Structure 1
Amino acid sequence: MELRDIFNRMQQQPPRINYPTVGWKWIVVAAVIVAVVGGLKTSVYTVPTDSAGVVQRFGRYNRTTEPGIHLKMPLGIEEAVPVPVKKVQKEEFGFRTLKAGVDTRYLGAEEIDARRSNPEDLMRLISESGERVSRSTTSELAERAKEILRGEYVMLTGDLNITDVEWIVQYLIKDARSYLFNIREPRQTIRDASQAVMRQLIGNGSVDEAITIGRIEYEVSAKEALQKLLDEYETGIHIVTVKLQSSNPPQKVRPAFNEVNKALQQKETRINEAMKTYNEAVPKSKGEAKKAIETAKGYAAERVNEALGDIAKFEKIYTEYIKAPDITRQRMYLETMSKVLPLIPEKWIIEQGGAEGGILMKLDLVGNKSSD
């Protein structure tokens, strides 16, 4: 084959391929079908049972829907955001719960020091705090995680002592619209407000109140103050509870504080025992005193009545004595001797001026016998 023949073939037109002819009506039908399918797909949405649906039209709030299947304008005109209004959520301060249930695992400063944490948990804690996680060794991650936790739980009390406070805040979203549109970062807002309230309460009290006697009061006060603060900013959040998980002195001084606390408990025990003895002894003593007083009153009344009787008897005898002094005197003497003589075991009767010294006989009046 010559070179000229090759060039002639190259200049020839390639064979024409006959494609099937598609009409404009089919293109329109296909476009309509695609639009309908896309519209149906983007116009139906489902709200979970524990949530409320907040519908936005071109980014602006439009309405709030209940759980179930609903329709909205398609193709991005309206967007629906589910908000879990019936789910109790919580924020933890000073520690994190890694696994809840029977085998609950926590991540705190003590767990990090004991090397009971893995790098994934440490990186998750750091990222949740809003920091960017970079490539670091496990020890560097542990130190950074401890700094984050320490910034949450280390607090200064009103008497210039340091205490470690760990607590939980549980809350519900009561107004989905306010929750989405009135605050930019709801979770961080709750955390910042909770720390501000708790630090103020701890800073106004003593270390003893924070660790021992004031825990319940702090929980109640923190819940009320936090709710008031969130309501002022119209966050749409309802605080369910504030619970102090632990409140202890720093690790280095904890043994000494425990000894002091033990002594205070022993003191309280002794006081309670003393109060118990007091409550038992005082009523008994009061009863005995009342009984003695009543006995004395009865004895006094008896003596007074006897004295009044003696007075009346004496006055009667005196009246008779005035009438016949000798006879009355003799009768009184005989009555007295009849009472006295039976009480004397041996009696000697002596006659004045008689022989042998005046001794007559020895009488046994009790036995009604006489002997020389």
Structure 2
Amino acid sequence: MAKTLSEIELTDHNKVSLFKDGALEPLLQLLTHDDLKVKKVAIDAIHNLSDVPQNGLQLIREGAVGPLVPLSFKCRNKGKTEKGNAVKLFCCLTQDGDENTLLEHVGQRCIERLLRIITTSNDLEEIAAAMGIISNLPKDPEITLWLLDAGALEIISTCLTHEGRNASYRMQITENAAAALCRFIAPSNLEWQKKVAEIGIIPVLVELLVSGTTLTKQNAAISLKQFSESSTALTNRVKKRWLSWFCLEAPVKCCPVHLGICTVESSFCILEANALEPLVRMLGEADPGACEASLDALLTLMDGERLQCGSKVLAEANAIAPIIKLLSSPSASLQEKTLKALERIFRLVEFKQKYGTSAQMPLVDITQRGSGGMRSLAAKVLAQLNLLTDQSSYF
């Protein structure tokens, strides 16, 4: 019966009905059977039934993660299934899995085995699933340290730079590797950021902004944004030396945003990395997630006191007009970030005069159709443009 369930084509309704009628419990029991062939059939059957979100959540609630962790590796070592279904099923469960459940079952040895699959397997689908598991692991500092100790950074780097990205599973490997990388680049841990920069990842991320899939571009932009948040503190400030009334200083090239000497490796500067143009291009992506990631990265250039110099750099890169277009995005989150960005940009008279007119109509539309908070934000920007008074009912 389990073999039949692993092979038969079923509708989503059939799959949900089978779980409701009690098929999951005996299949989970088969995962603990002594016979490896029985385990394989059970995995295949569960995998065939688990691609319905409702069933996937039930698998997590019923504790399927526990037996799958060791089984993912035992099956691989003792005999080939797995199109690597055990690893793929494990990957599916980690996408929506409870963090506490994953922390309970994923230890240092599990991480080492996942990385071994990535470096030794000839099955691209299995490699993609193993990297997917790593990308879905909780952002727990201990897990990150285990990954670093096991050489995960170098393995992720290899997955990001491998050739043949046009093959579907190779693209999936790259997508998952780009997602896995984000955990190492949190601005709160400068040492981890330095480790990543030292192995030459930043230029690779910039390349992926151009050549990657939409999801890869999104994760590459997220990583670059995290790097960029550290740049101001890391830039090498130029000290002027004065002799009487005469200024003696060597002719050095200062970063127009961070106002110091920047390099890709030392200050993670996205200007030096030539990331500005591809990030601006990404603002025109159809996917709101990719647009938002690129906007977040660009806005790091005008954080805080860098508003004027950063806005100027963005204007020179022709970024202001596509940012204004994001006011018409169907994503409320993206609209809100755009409104907040424009409210800051339009504090500067030159940018208000140059770009204010093109922003008027989408701003008016938001005040008429947007939610309460969005309407208030849009009204605030319109007031900056002298098109509404502070006493307007929109406030």
TM range (shorter): under 0.3
TM-score of the superposed pair, with normalisation by structure 2:
0.22
Q: Which one has a larger percent strand, Structure 1 or Structure 2?
A: 1
